[in-house]
Structure 1
């Protein structure tokens, strides 16, 4: 019985280079800023004819800390609710939630997407709970924000940046 390699030609397969183990640790997570405006209560509006229309905007930011292999990731949520019937605003919630991460062993080329996709995925359940609690405590039904596709957000932002830096293709008159 012969020892055949994965190459199929009888030659020994090249030894795979040992991959460095990626280490990721959440060092801290925190509410950086939180604002909730209950416009219905401020204006004294009746809640009888309210059909909420909710819009959620998400933005991400990441930056290197002074300590080696440490990064801050900030996720900003802006939740606006308006009445479908008359367009009157019901509430405005703004949340900045941060996490401090230790990330080691990740190739430099993979660091940016990792910080803006994987780190927000880890923080999202906590953000969802805060938004739900704040809207409930503000007198509204708890708002359970749908899962956010951070990979799609990242791809959209990279496409937007590529388009913004692309040379103009207009022809002179």
Structure 2
């Protein structure tokens, strides 16, 4: 039984969503202090940076790129640095502006995360380190935080000091 497409928030066009492709756009793994780092007492400190980019490819077709950089240090020495840009091509049609923004900035990165998580884990293991598993990321919370920041910035622009 096929599910009927839901009407968009404005009631006109049905919402349609599809994943057309998932792929690695860029990948990098560095161990700048090897082999000495393998002799160090293993008390790693983790730094993680996450972001995403959205590119409109054509009407209703978008590329979403989830960018993740993980740096692990032991003391002042970098044990490894891994950077992955995991991308997907998504078809999104019939979404109201606010919901489209949510889909591209939260829903799509959520779909890409398991792929980037597995890629990073595999790279770290192949680099000679213990298995490394990223904790889940709450993309809804990150999206809402970004909306709050944008709202505060707009409110700050309205206040003028003479």
Q: Secondary structure at the match of 1:145?
A: coil
Which 10-residue stretch deviates more, 45-54 or 122-131?
45-54
Q: CA deviation at 1:169?
A: 4.8
Task: Give aligned pairs, total.
Answer: 152
Does structure 1 retain, via aligned residues, the 8 Å contact 2:31–2:78? no
Q: Secondary structure at the match of 1:57?
A: strand
Select the residue among 68, 72, 88 that pairs with 1:77. 68
Q: CA deviation at 1:162?
A: 2.6
Where does residue 5 of structure 2 map in the other structure? Answer: none
Tell me, in whole angstroms, the C-alpha distance in 1 between the residues paired with 2:14 and 2:157.
40
Q: CA RMSD in A?
A: 2.2
Tell me, in whole angstroms, the C-alpha distance in 2 between the residues paired with 1:38 and 1:114.
36
Task: Tell me if 1:57 matches 2:49.
Answer: yes
Instruction: Map residues 35-46 of structure 1 onto 2, 5 A cutoff.
Output: 35-41=28-34, 44-46=36-38
Structure 2: tracts of 5 or more residues without a match: 1-9
Select the residue among 28, 34, 37 that pairs with 2:21. 28
Does structure 1 retain, via aligned residues, the 8 Å contact 2:37–2:79? no
The two structures have a TM-score, normalised by structure 2, of 0.83
The two structures have a TM-score, normalised by structure 1, of 0.78
Change (3 A) 1:108 1:161: closer
Select the residue among 141, 147, 155 that pairs with 2:130. 141
Q: Secondary structure at the match of 1:33?
A: strand
Task: Tell me if 1:167 matches 2:157.
Answer: yes
Q: CA deviation at 1:170?
A: 7.5
Q: Secondary structure at the match of 2:109?
A: helix
Tell me, in whole angstroms, the C-alpha distance in 2 between the residues paired with 1:107 and 1:82.
44
Where does residue 105 of structure 2 map in the other structure? Answer: 116
Tell me, in whole angstroms, the C-alpha distance in 2 between the residues paired with 1:46 and 1:18.
60
